[in-house]
Structures are given as structure tokens and as C-alpha cells.
Chain A
Amino acid sequence: MLQDNHATEIAQILERYPQASKRAAVMPLLFLAQREVGFISRDAINEIAGLLDLDPTDVGSLIGYYTLFYDKPGGKYRIQICTDLPCALRGAEKFSHEVCEMLNIQVGETTEDGFFTLEEVMCLAACDRAPLFQVQGKGGIQYHENMTLESTTAFIESIREQDANE
């Protein structure tokens, strides 16, 4: 339950909006829920709906609308490769296939060790430095530009090592 762990933060979020339009708090509360476990569970949807006097369907439909909300658990790190047209022209599609092969997963899947989820996303606003991906996970969002399979492998190894040390 969100309320158990984040009661003060929830109260702070709710305070920001007038009582009459408290449904506006739905986005920050969804972020909070996602930050907790990396995705938004059915229970979290129901809880947020209860907090804001909304129908769970109202809350749940938002998760589908915004691509950065997840309704299923993923890996610890989400590698998001841009495959829009300019990036594709600079070889992002091929790059994506290679990374998939290297990690032994399909787009949208998570590696066996639960570390990485690979996703293809729309424009990341760095077309000139493709192929590129952003990594979402511990430490917020990082961009990795002008990537090759070698540099990606090195990055992935470094993350795994780092995690093993912790």
C-alpha cells in the first residue's frame, strides 16, 4: 500500500491541488507508485482511485495513454532505443536487433537475470547522435549516444559489475 510507506508525500501532493479538482493529483501519484516498484500495479490503481474519488478505470486508462507509465514489471534498467525515422536511417533498427541478439531477448522483453528490459521508443530528440538509447533505472534517466554494439556491451557489463559490487 502506498499509504503505508508514503503517507506524508501523498498528503503533500494532494495539498498542491484544490479539493474540487483533486483529480489533477493523479499524475504525481502515478509517478510515486511507479517509482516504488518500477511499474503501476492493479492495487496501486485502485488505491489512487480511492484517494481521488475516481473510478479505477479513469486511472488505469492513463497508464495506457502515457508511454512512460508501465502496467507490467520490467527489468531494473530499461534500455530505450529510439527507432524513429532519422535514427533508423543512421542504423538504429539494425543496432536494436544486434542488442536484442546480444541480450538474447526480443524487444519488450526482460533479460533472464531481471536486469534489463529493452524497448523501442519514439523520438528522443538526439537524431544526430544515433544510434542512441536512454537508460531508465537507478540514478534517473541517462542518455547514451553514438552507440555501437561494442560500447553497449561494455556499458552493460559495467552495470552488471557495479550491481554485483553493491
Chain B
Amino acid sequence: MLAALLKGLWTTLRSMFEPPVTYQYPEVKRPVRDRYKGRHYLQRYDNGLEKCIGCSLCAVACPADAIFVESSENTDENRYSPGERYASTYEINMLRCIFCGYCEDACPTEAIVLGHNYELSFTNRRDAIYTKDMLINPVSIAGQPTPMKVEAGQFDRAIPEMEDPK
């Protein structure tokens, strides 16, 4: 009996000198894998135009029905994205989202990307709905904010020829 007790204490003693396996969250954050799927970000091109064209394919691909998109028509005075259509409303209900990444797969313009942020907390259900303002990336230094006023006929093609941010 004593032997068993000593054995147990020995284990305890030994582990005191081993390095810890836990992280001191939130001071220290555990790194995630490259392909980790956290909260979503809506991307922009270098010049500031939004990549999202409001096609709703993410919404229809979503198995949890968490995404809601409303689209509108771009004009040269108020241009949000290249081509004719942009998302005037883009909402993701983070309580519903299961972070499967199907939206990312469905997106024809690589506009929606699941990032590494997993720190999603809300104090009520309404706050769990992330709107377009919350989801969209800030404009890079080279770009302009949307909506922008552009020259007529500059972005009239469905498939844009534009640089991605490096």
C-alpha cells in the first residue's frame, strides 16, 4: 500500500519538473494551423474595390443557412466592386456557422476567406450577426474606400483584371 502511495507521489513530483502543456490564455495564444477555419473576412483588391459580387453562392452552399446576402447594381458614381453587382447587405450569423468553409469553396471571386480568429463571443443573439462592415477588410494603403467614383467603362467586365494585395 505504501509502495503504491509512493509511486503516485513520485509521478506528481516528476511532473512538477516537466514543461507545462497548457497555454496561459488569453495572455498567450496557441498558434493555429495554416488551414484553420476561424471567422470570415471579406477581401478587397489592391485598389480598394470589394471582391464580393453579391452572388449569394456562399449563402446557398452554407449547410447551416448562416449567410444572408442582398445585392444591388454598381454604378460608376457608386462603385463597390468590379462588374455590375455588389453585396449591399452581407450578414453571417456566427451562432449558426459551423466553420465548414463551404462558403469559401463556393465563392467564385475568393472574396470570403475564413481567417484564424476563433475568439467569437457575444452577450446576446443579435450581436452574433456579423454585418458587412464587421466582416470586410480595411482598405489597404494603396486603395480607396468604397463606394468610389470611377471613370465610366473602367470596370465593366464580369471577370476583373486586378491585383490582389500581396
Check A-B contact in the complex, CB < 8 A: no
Contact residues of A with B, CB < 8 Å? none
Contact residues of B with A, CB < 8 Å? none
